[in-house]
Amino acid sequence: MPSLRTSVMLFLLVALQLSCLSLSPSYEQLLTSSGYLAINFMSITLVLAARPRWLEMPLGGLDKMYQLHKWTGIFAVIAALSHWLIEMGDDALEALFGKDRSLHEAKFSGLLDSLQDGAEDLGEPGLYLLLFLVAITLTRWVPYAYWRYLHRVMPLIYLALASHALLLAPLKWWQQPTGWLMALLMVGGVIASLQSLTGNIAKSRRYKGLVQAVKQTPAQITEVVCDMGRRWPGHRAGQFALVTFDRLEGAHPFTLSSADNGNGQLSFQIKALGDYTRKLAQQLHRGQTVTLEGPYGRFNPEKGRKNAQQIWVAGGIGVTPFLAALENRLLHSEQDYPALILHYCTAGAATDPMLTRLQQLTEQLPSIALHIHDSQQGQRLNASQLQIQGAKVDIWFCGPQGLATALRSGLKQTPISLRFHQECFEFR
């Protein structure tokens, strides 16, 4: 299910589009309105996929942008399928609701007439391809390495359906806000499609560097140190990058586990969670080229509300943004940082290399109260163990979704002003 922020954005997008339509009960109105919503949501989906920098702040970061991208894509498919079903039931719907001739598509002659016929023919196969691609994306039937190549067809499908919408839209729309909004969104969608097809998405945010060291721990965590040189723009603790070690595999999001020290040296702690990450330690070597895109993310555990209690909760590999934040505190020890409680949940404290590093850092920071919860010892964190004090609390969480859900549920009845900060690493 979409988050509250995403749900609000979807509601606003639907409300904006419906406000431009003059709704009336007729077959043509149902047909054109469903097509209007379909192409508009497709356009928004393509724009979000292009990762525009100017949308990161209002949407809350790239992770939130991709969650919205997923749901606008779902809305686009629902509207497109409705459009197709309405067209299939034209006789019954015309008999039930009547006709509205003012909403018929424009009549052209010559070349434009041929283009209009071609655009009409593109609609049905384009819908089938769209349904197929969205289905394999949501069900994850296809491994990521193959799926990402199939997903690259999406801009071509969009361009075909955009031409269908452009040439078959009612002529009177182009003198109304209805057509103006559709045209604006389609321009954005076309630009984003061309960026995708030419490989220019976020090109200005890509940086090449070298793998400096690779180390695998017994806990199936691969530590990778990269030297990005002086061109790296710097990053905040809690941010991540889209990392490409292998061009055929493509980019994967990994959290930066080190603070920005100004010399371009970065580290990642990568947990073996799938086929790609399990093989990473064997495939990487010192001196190998790496491409980073970013930095991305607005998960900033150092940015809490004034006079609010700060609680950090890390689960397993979710400790990486907090390691960077702790390193940052040591690098800038002259700053006045608030005291906080850090809860770390591990599946085996005795063999956890992340815990060793975490303890080394917190021992140098007396303002951090570290609490370890080892599930092998039956120590499972719940909301009552967070040690909440006062009426104003900021919780920064990075870890398994099940733990986040349990903590949120346990905090519902707590009479406090609570902000629960969590990133959504669901990029597919």
| One domain, residues 250 and 367 | no
Q: Could you tell me the CA-to-CA distances from 372 to 96, 315, 316, 359 in Å, in that order? A: 66, 10, 11, 10
Tell me if 89 is assigned to some domain. yes
pLDDT at residue 219 is higher than 70: yes
**Tokens describing residue 428:** 């597919």
**Residue 218 tokens, joined:** 């017994």
Average pLDDT score over residue span 322-328: 93
pLDDT, one tens digit per residue, over 396-428 is 999 999 999 999 999 988 888 999 998 877 666
Write the burial class of residue 410 (CB in 10 Å: 0-12 exposed, 13-18 middle, 19+ buried). Answer: middle
* Interior/surface letters 356-370, b for 16+ CB within 10 angstroms, e for the rest: ebbeebbeebeebeb
* Same-domain check for residues 30 and 73: yes
- Residue-range definition of the domain harbouring residue 282: 203-296
Q: What is the pLDDT of residues 91-116, one digit of tens each?
A: 677 777 667 665 666 565 445 555 65
User: Within this chain, do residues 120 and 250 fall inside the same structural domain, yes or no?
Assistant: no
Structure tokens at 365: 């920071």
Q: What is the CATH number of the domain that holds 226?
A: 2.40.30.10
Mean pLDDT in residue range 306-332: 92
Domain boundary among 266, 296, 326: 296
* CATH (domain of 66): 1.20.120
State which of 296, 328, 363 marks the end of a domain.
296
> How does pLDDT run across 124-139, given as a tens digit for each residue?
777 888 888 888 888 8
Same domain? 45 vs 193? yes
In-domain check, residue 173: yes
List pLDDT tens digits, range 260-271.
Answer: 988 899 999 998
Report yes or no on 150 lying in a domain.
Answer: yes
Give the lowest-confidence range in 54-63, 162-171, 314-323. 162-171
Q: How far apart are CA 49 and CA 62, in angstroms?
A: 10
Q: What are the CA-CA distances from residue 91 to residues 19, 30, 123, 176, 307 (Å)?
A: 28, 13, 19, 29, 65
Is 200 buried (19+), middle (13-18) or exposed (0-12) by CB count in 10 A? exposed
Instruction: Look at residue 428 and tell me if it is in a domain.
Output: no
Say what the pLDDT of residue 104 is. Answer: 63
- Which of the four pLDDT bands, split at 50, 70 and 90, describes residue 304? confident
Q: What is the dihedral of CA 372, 311, 400, 403, to 10 degrees?
A: 80
Q: Do 140 and 247 belong together in one domain?
A: no
Give residue-wise pLDDT tens across range 231-249: 999 999 999 999 999 888 8
pLDDT at 109: 47
- What pLDDT shows up at residue 420? 92
> Could you tell me if 47 and 185 lie in one domain?
yes
Whether pLDDT at 300 is above 50: yes
Nearest to 295 by CA among 243, 344, 366: 243
Whether residue 159 sits in one domain with residue 15? yes
User: For residue 352, is it within any domain?
Assistant: yes
From residue 158, give the alpha-carbon distance in Å to each of 34, 41, 191, 194, 362: 16, 11, 11, 11, 51
CATH code of the domain in which 379 resides: 3.40.50.80
Q: State the average pLDDT over residues 285-309.
A: 91
Instruction: Give yes or no for residue 296 having a pLDDT over 50.
Output: yes
How are beta strands 206-216 and 221-227 bridged, if at all? antiparallel
Q: How many helices (H) and strands (E) does the chain have?
A: 13, 11
Predicted confidence at residue 118, as pLDDT, reads 60
Pick the last residue of a domain from 296, 325, 352. Answer: 296
Q: Which residue has the higher pLDDT, 143 or 320?
A: 320
Would you say residue 137 lies in a domain? yes
Q: Domain check: are 193 and 207 in the same one?
A: no
Number of domains in the chain: 3
Distance CA 415, CA 199 (A): 50
Residues forming a β-bridge with 315? 345
Task: Decide if 302 is inside a domain.
Answer: no
Q: Is the pLDDT of residue 182 over 70?
A: yes
pTM higher than 0.85: yes
Task: State the pLDDT at residue 428.
Answer: 60
Q: What's the mean pLDDT in 43-67?
A: 93
Both 266 and 341 in one domain: the answer is no
Report the Cα 241 to chain-centroid distance in Å: 12
Q: Is 290 found in the same domain as 158?
A: no
Q: Please, what is the average pLDDT of the chain? A: 87
The identity of residue 29, as a single letter, is Q
Residues 212 and 182 in one domain: no
Is residue 340 situated within a structural domain? yes
Strands 309-315 and 252-255: unpaired
Write out pLDDT tens, residues 350-359: 888 889 999 9
| Spatial distance between the Cα atoms of 214 and 383, rounded to a whole number of angstroms | 37
pLDDT at 116: 54
Sheet holding 392-398, edge to edge: 368-374, 340-346, 309-315, 392-398, 417-422
Residues 46 and 156 both lie in one domain: yes
**Among 384, 383, 396, 393, residue whose Cα is nearest residue 416:** 393
